[in-house]
Amino acid sequence: MDVGVERHRHAGRLAAAALDRRRAAGRGDARGPAGRGGAPAGGRRPGRGSRAVGAPAPAGVVSPVLTLAHTAHLDAADLVEARGLMDLAFGDFADADWSHALGGLHALVRVEGVLVAHGSLVQRRLLVGAGEGARSLRCGYVEAVATHPGHRRRGHAAAVMTALEALAPAYDVLALSSSDAGTALYLGRGWLPWRGPMSVPGPSGPERTPEDDGSTYVLPGALPLSPPLDLDAPLACDWREGDVW
């Protein structure tokens, strides 16, 4: 049994169970209103590793606080809050997609205790090229980047990405799959679009995922790869349930 995998599954079950209890209760916390799966608008203190985001805020304005924590160090309420933010931001976020965000490091931005932005970085393996010349890269894969609809265009997504990009030295490359809406953000931060054909390992060999062509962006790690990345080469990711990219 892979203890790490079981721990991550347990965390996911905790989050799902807690969210079900909140749905069944049909009410918010008595201390104040909150969105589905959200925390009350106050009372939650910044966790270990928290820091203020950006320049000092003007008098009377509360600075956002960013926390970087592993899934194993988030409690059930944190996971429920982050899971609820996905639905607020995207409308309908599948459980399989949420499971992809678990098992790594989470960047969480809170304003007065309320979670307003989230993103996570999980480890995956990417296979670049084909045949004998193919290379397996240790990849930090960005997942579940979301901002609360009422707190957009305030730099919260940029703060999340800055925290996750700072982890690049631990990997050969960072990667993510972007929607059309997120393309400008990532291009502006120096991410590079992968131009080669995309695929995933299947029972009978590599299976093309043409619907994902052009949607993956990469950011090289701290140390240059030798030979350098060929952005036109075939690229394959490890298989998983739900969206593979």
The CATH number for 3-55+63-237, chosen from 3.40.50.261, 2.70.40.10, 1.20.1050.10, 3.40.630.30, is 3.40.630.30
- The pLDDT tens digits for 39-73 are 333 334 444 466 666 555 555 557 899 999 999 99
Under 8 Å between Cβ of 213 and 188: no
Q: What are the distances in angstroms from CA 42 to CA 113, 139, 241?
A: 5, 36, 36
- The pLDDT tens digits for 178-202 are 988 889 989 999 999 999 999 999 8
Q: Locate 126 and state its tokens.
A: 């990417």
Nearest to 112 by CA among 155, 37, 57: 57
pTM passes above 0.75: yes
Q: What are the distances in angstroms from CA 129 to CA 74, 195, 213, 236?
A: 37, 12, 15, 8
Q: Give dist(CA 240, CA 125) in Å, integer.
A: 12
- The pLDDT tens digits for 138-177 are 999 999 999 999 999 999 999 999 999 999 999 999 999 9
H/E element holding 135?
strand 135-147
The helix/strand/coil state of 190 is coil
Q: How many angstroms from the chain centroid is the CA of residue 77?
A: 18
